[in-house]
Amino acid sequence: MIEIDSGKPVEVMDITPSVQEALRESKVINGICLVYTLHTTTGLTVNEADPALIKDILNLLERVAPQGAGYLHDRSDGNAHAHLRAALLGSSVVIPVEQKRLVLGTWQRILFFELDGPRRRKIYIKAVPD
């Protein structure tokens, strides 16, 4: 389990080093690694950690699911846009593991999206051997 304190309403964090560290502490040498967020207003994806691209992704999410666009969930909670953006991103990623290393392409990073912060967030990591 990784715990993260986000500092802003919307924030993207490259959690690749934390996942690799958790993997190092596990007994799994070869297999797969599940990275799973325990929240409904956060997202996980694998992509490039280029700040300009991250801004592009956030802009896309904002266009597709703008805040306060008459959502039913806003009647009770006021954060429907964050849930919708999280639904678009997904709540988990699975990455192959070889020799205790995450198998990632040159530009691939594990990106955690805070969409309704700031809050303390928990990310569950489960390594499964071959």
Q: Which stretches of the chain bind Zn ion, using CB under 5 A? A: 77, 79
Q: How far is the CB of 34 from Zn ion (least distance, A)?
A: 25
Q: Least separation, in Å, of the C-beta of 85 and Zn ion? A: 12
Cα 16–chain centre separation: 10
Residue 75 carries which side chain, given as an amino acid letter? R
Considering the complex, what minimum distance in angstroms separates the CB of residue 52 from Zn ion?
Answer: 30
Q: State how far the Cα of 87 lies from the Cα of 80, in Å rounded to an integer.
A: 10
What is the number of the residue whose Cβ is closest to Zn ion?
77
Separation in Å, CA 55 to CA 17, 91, 94, 109, 114: 21, 20, 24, 15, 13
Nearer to Zn ion, 84 or 125 (CB): 84
In the structure encoding, which two tokens stand for residue 98, read together? 């070889």
Q: Output 21 or 77, the one with its CB closest to Zn ion.
A: 77
Q: State which residue, 18 or 79, has the beta carbon closest to Zn ion.
A: 79
